[in-house]
Chains A and B, each alone.
Chain A
Amino acid sequence: MRTCFPSLCLVNCLIVEIQNLTKIYPSKLPVTAVDGLDLELEQGEIFGLLGPNGAGKTTTISIATTRTLPTSGTIRINGIDVVQHPAHARRMIGVVPQFNTLDRSLTVYENLYFHCRYFGFSHSTAKSRSLDLLTQFMLTERKSVYPAQLSGGLAQRVQIARAIAHRPAVLFLDEPSAGLDPQSRMAMWSAVQELHKEGITVLLTTHYMEEADQLSDRLAILDHGRILALGSPEKLKSTFGAHTLFDLKLKSRASLDPLLASLRAHPGVTNAEATSDGLRVLAVSADGLLSDLVQAAAPYGLRDLQITEPSLETVFIQLTGRDLRE
């Protein structure tokens, strides 16, 4: 086990270590939410967990933030085992949950102030820290407002301010842009990037690939509780081939096999497969392919053709065979 002294070690320090993490929710039909997950986060990076609903992202975050107990495996935050020492681990982490969990009985300022008090700040330190955060997150005008009166975007900002108030080493953001309008989403992204500049490590889950692509230094694509791919967005796109995706909708799907075989033999095409309403072609190069595709598919009654440029989504579809937002 490596532990990390941020003041001494600026590169390649492991701040989050997840080893062989498994979570099975017991019931008549036990659900395996996380299946032997291994993951390491380095000091100061923004790490994205990308996957469709039910991939195990939220369960992983819940275990890391001590709200769920794992069936097996360990998570260490800054060297502290979250199952063995949950109360102590909580001092290392800040959490922005999927839903608004702000204290409805307290004002925005008091939410921050009492959060600081829970973490051992004195009255004067808690007060100055809360006022600083209100300024930093442009919430000063709303300091006396109750959470129920805040819009989704503003509540999210207060939640982020609250999560970092006690200066945690790692910030967990669970679907931070779910339910936010585009403007609030942009504001949230810039807030996260600001925190990143301050050196905080961020683990965020999302099923928006643009979010993962733009925010993350590294990301893991998760499905069925397992990591399918791990690396920087650029690395993932290049490793798994910067594929262009052609989705063809056909009137007739009878005897598609010869067509699939001929397409697979086409230079630049890495794979061609039947889908529920036609076929899907993954190609490294799109040059000249489009006209060949249209010609080859014409006898089958080509109704529609959709081209998706290389992106994390095409990487995901290549890995799992299904859409990210299914």
Chain B
Amino acid sequence: MNNINAGNRDQGTGISHLRPAIFFQAFIGLFLRDLRVLTREFLPFLLRVGMQPLLFLFVFTFILPRMSTGNPMAIAGGVDFGTILLPGLMAVAIMFSGIAAVALPLSSEFGITREIDDRVMCPLPLWAVALEKVCFSAMQSIIAALLVIPMAYYIPAKPVVAHITSWFLLALVLVLASLLAGALGLVIGSTVNPKQIGLVFSILVVPITFLGCVYYPWMGLFQNIRWLSIAVLFNPIVYMSEGLRAAVTPGIEHMPWWAILIALVFFTAVLGRWGLKGFLGRVQS
């Protein structure tokens, strides 16, 4: 009964003294648990995150350029579509992975099985349980985004012109975008009724992807359809795509990097707070 004795010693001597170590161990425990589940389903995970960018690159940068009509999606200015697409597809991979890694498991854990009780009974503050979910999903998002790079290298008919000038910026954008995706997943998972999680994909995830400057740069939108370029500023996916554009293909006109970073931090904080509120409301009455 070592724990009991430890608990009593804390009285008066300060519980806070032991806290960080206990919390850290519990956090690592949760992370290891998620890692175990992921490694068991690693192939399905790769297929899930890889299929969409694979097919996208294959159709638009391999098949269409070979057809006699030429590439209907070629962008004016001579930039190859594959180069436009690479950062955009990385952003999509990050977002889908974030939602799949947080929102889908959460919605089933909150469901009839109440499996979430298994996790929230850990010796860890509830916010840290939510944070672990976001962090683990961010790790998956980063893997998913990096997976797009070799695809973009090998598949397109014309080579993609990637030119990473700042690895630091790339790492920063990857991490921030992945945390943002996890926070978005937390919001969806903890506020949407599990029965309607499929509907959310149709009415939220698909629109924010198509209007997220994934398949076209924001500057192109700004120069041609001004009203839409302003409207999409409320869409966090825009900053994920533009951030990766600034880091991976800086040759294409993009938003200033500092504005992108501010927006990524802002949206991560807002969505994280919203998601956490929903999470706490669902696990504690």
Between-chain CB contacts (< 8 Å), 17 pairs: A3-B8, A4-B8, A5-B5, A5-B8, A65-B121, A66-B284, A67-B283, A80-B7, A87-B22, A87-B26, A87-B125, A91-B123, A95-B121, A99-B113, A102-B118, A105-B37, A114-B29
Please give, as numbers and ranges, the residues of chain A lying within 8 Å of B40 by CB-CB distance. 105
B118 touches A87 (CB 8 A): no
* Docked complex Cα distance between A88 and B5 (Å): 13
B33 touches A103 (CB 8 A): yes
> 8 Å CB contacts to B: which residues of A272-296?
none
> 8 Å CB contacts to A: which residues of B1-56?
1-8, 10-11, 15, 18-19, 21-23, 25-26, 28-30, 32-33, 36-37, 40
Please give, as numbers and ranges, the residues of chain A lying within 8 Å of B30 by CB-CB distance. 118
Please give, as numbers and ranges, the residues of chain A lying within 8 Å of B7 by CB-CB distance. 78-80, 88, 91-92, 169
B15 touches A85 (CB 8 A): yes
A sample of 4 more A-B contacts (CB under 8 A), given A87-B26, A119-B25, A169-B1, is A3-B8, A105-B37, A114-B36, A118-B25
A120 within 8 A of B: yes
Please give, as numbers and ranges, the residues of chain A lying within 8 Å of B117 by CB-CB distance. 67, 95, 97, 101
A320 within 8 A of B: no
B285 within 8 A of A: yes
* Docked complex Cα distance between A163 and B247 (Å): 48
What distance in Å separates the Cβ of A146 from its nearest Cβ neighbour in chain B? 11
* Chain B interface, >50% SS class: helix
B114 within 8 A of A: yes
* Docked complex Cα distance between A132 and B19 (Å): 28
Please give, as numbers and ranges, the residues of chain B lying within 8 Å of A88 by CB-CB distance. 7, 10, 15, 18-19, 22, 123
Please classify how large the interface on chain A is, using the bins under 10, 10 to 19, 20 to 34, 35 or more. Answer: 35 or more
A110 touches B36 (CB 8 A): yes
B208 within 8 A of A: no
B36 touches A120 (CB 8 A): no
Please give, as numbers and ranges, the residues of chain A lying within 8 Å of B26 by CB-CB distance. 87, 118-120
Closest chain A residue to B22, Cβ basis: A120
A103 touches B3 (CB 8 A): no
List the count of A-B residue pairs having beta carbons below 8 Å apart.
Answer: 132
What distance in Å separates the Cβ of B230 from its nearest Cβ neighbour in chain A? 42
A101 touches B5 (CB 8 A): no
B120 within 8 A of A: yes
The digit string for A115-129, where 1 denotes a CB below 8 A from any CB of B, is 101111000000000
* Docked complex Cα distance between A80 and B126 (Å): 18
Closest chain A residue to B25, Cβ basis: A120
Please give, as numbers and ranges, the residues of chain B lying within 8 Å of A268 by CB-CB distance. none
Closest chain B residue to A59, Cβ basis: B285
* Docked complex Cα distance between A115 and B19 (Å): 18
Please give, as numbers and ranges, the residues of chain A lying within 8 Å of B2 by CB-CB distance. 167
Name the one of B21, B29, B115, B126 contacting A104, with C-beta atoms under 8 angstroms: B115
B115 touches A103 (CB 8 A): yes
Name the one of B6, B23, B113, B284 contacting A87, with C-beta atoms under 8 angstroms: B23
Name the one of A25, A62, A68, A118 contacting B29, with C-beta atoms under 8 angstroms: A118
What distance in Å separates the Cβ of B76 from its nearest Cβ neighbour in chain A? 49
- Of B3, B37, B121, most A-chain CB atoms within 10 Å: B121
Closest chain B residue to A91, Cβ basis: B123
A6 within 8 A of B: yes
B265 within 8 A of A: no
What distance in Å separates the Cβ of A207 from its nearest Cβ neighbour in chain B? 21
A180 within 8 A of B: no
Known: A62-B285, A118-B123. A6 touches B36 (CB 8 A): no
* Docked complex Cα distance between A67 and B285 (Å): 7
B124 within 8 A of A: yes
* Docked complex Cα distance between A95 and B29 (Å): 19
What distance in Å separates the Cβ of A199 from its nearest Cβ neighbour in chain B? 8
* Docked complex Cα distance between A220 and B115 (Å): 30
The digit string for A210-246, where 1 denotes a CB below 8 A from any CB of B, is 0000000000000000000000000000000000000
Please give, as numbers and ranges, the residues of chain B lying within 8 Å of A119 by CB-CB distance. 25-26, 29, 122-123
What distance in Å separates the Cβ of B113 from its nearest Cβ neighbour in chain A? 6
Closest chain A residue to B31, Cβ basis: A117
B4 touches A169 (CB 8 A): yes
Please give, as numbers and ranges, the residues of chain A lying within 8 Å of B113 by CB-CB distance. 99-101, 104
What distance in Å separates the Cβ of A162 from its nearest Cβ neighbour in chain B? 8
